[in-house]
Amino acid sequence: MEYEGHFGADELYIKMKSSDSNISRATVYNTLELLAQCELLSKRNFGENKTRYESNVGKTSHDHLICTNCGAIKEFSEPKIQKIVKEISSEIGFDSTGYSFNIFGKCTNPNCGQNKNAK
Ligand SMILES: [Zn+2]
Ligand SMILES: [Zn+2]
């Protein structure tokens, strides 16, 4: 829950392993799934064929801008989007349990693209 930002199950597993934890990979995966079901974590998919998680604790609902060049992820909160989701759902007669809204593009960071492996 203390992990800042958006992480994959493998990243968390490697991090826990490097801090001398005996946790198994399956336990990490299963626990993340469970926490997501309890809505303590949000599951994200930023179009990379990989599920990422982020803590919901102390966070308001927000959406993301993803730089396809350097992988930077920025967050924003826009109540209008939530309103639209509600409106469309009730118009069509749909009980929405969540939505995902991602904006892809290139960030304005001058270092963008220089360190492709940095997250
Ligand atoms: Zn986020
Ligand atoms: Zn970038």
Can you tell me the mean pLDDT for 39-55? 91
- Predicted local distance difference test score (pLDDT) of residue 115: 55
Task: Assess whether pLDDT exceeds 50 at residue 118.
Answer: no
| All structural domains of the chain with their residue ranges | 1-59, 60-119
Q: What is the mean pLDDT of the chain?
A: 90
Q: Does 51 have pLDDT greater than 60? A: yes
Distance CA 3, CA 31 (A): 14
Residue 25 CA to residue 31 CA, distance in Å, equals 10
pTM comes to 0.79
Q: Which helix (H) or strand (E) holds 42?
A: strand 41-45
Comparing C-alpha atoms, which of 31, 27, 35, 78 is closest to residue 56?
A: 35
The mean pLDDT value for 90-118 works out to 85
Torsion angle defined by CA atoms of residues 53, 59, 63 and 64, in that order, rounded to the nearest 10 degrees? -60
> How many A from CA of 6 to the centre of ligand 1?
6
Separation CA 6–CA 80 (nearest Å):
23
Ligand closest to the CA atom of residue 7:
1
pLDDT tier for residue 119 given thresholds of 50, 70 and 90: very low
* Percent of the chain at pLDDT exceeding 70: 96
- Please identify every residue whose CB atom is under 5 Å from ligand 1, which is an ion: 54, 75
Protein residues near ligand 2, an ion, with CB under 5 A: 67, 69-70, 72, 107, 112
What architecture (CATH level 2) is domain 60-119?
Answer: 2-Layer Sandwich (3.30)
- What's the pLDDT tens digit per position in 56-66? 988 888 999 99
The Cβ of residue 54 has, within 10 Å, a number of other Cβ atoms equal to 20
Residue given tokens 């309103």 in the structure block: 83
Tell me which of 3.40.50.920, 1.10.150.110, 1.10.10.10, 2.60.120.260 is the CATH number of domain 1-59. 1.10.10.10
